[in-house]
Amino acid sequence: MTLPAAEKKQGQIYAFDRDPEMLELIETKADKASPANITIVQGEMNELPFSDASVEVVLASLVLHEALSLESVLEEIQRVLLPGGRLMIVELEAFPSTSHKAPRVSLKQMKEAVRRVGLQRIKLFFPTDNFYILTSEKN
């Protein structure tokens, strides 16, 4: 999603991940496409290397279920968002009857965690029965 964002947005796009292999993949694709507004950043979700109120949009796509503490990661995202900034979360729904062993965060858990850190839910979308996209805004 980094490359399409870089093509549509004139501002700086940060490709952030803890996994250097994922970042290398993005960098390789970016080199071929030649966008000048992508910066590769490696780090941990619970210690984002960005200044307070410095990011307009955070897209957390299929990563928050990996957080050791969902609320601490959401607090960190809230810290770096500009007032009026948006957090877009893409996650797999956690169904009680599923046989998947991968960690998942239910929509109910996610909505509660987002609310607890002070973000306002503004949009909810279900592209399929298994995925949800939750968009929130910092006041």
Give the start-to-end residue ranges of the domains of the chain. Answer: 1-43, 49-139
| pLDDT-above-70 percentage for the chain | 94
Tens digits of residue pLDDT in 14-29: 999 999 999 999 888 8
pTM: 0.88
- Rounded distance between C-alpha atoms, residue 112 and residue 23, angstroms: 31
Tens digits of residue pLDDT in 35-92: 788 899 999 999 999 999 999 999 999 999 999 999 999 999 999 999 999 999 999 9
Tens digits of residue pLDDT in 109-135: 999 999 999 999 889 999 998 899 999
Checking 104-107 for CB contacts under 8 A at 24+ apart, the result is 104/65, 105/64, 105/65, 105/70, 107/132, 107/134
One CATH from 3.40.50.720, 3.40.50.150, 3.20.20.70, 3.40.50.12160 for 49-139? 3.40.50.150
Q: What is the pLDDT of residue 45?
A: 95
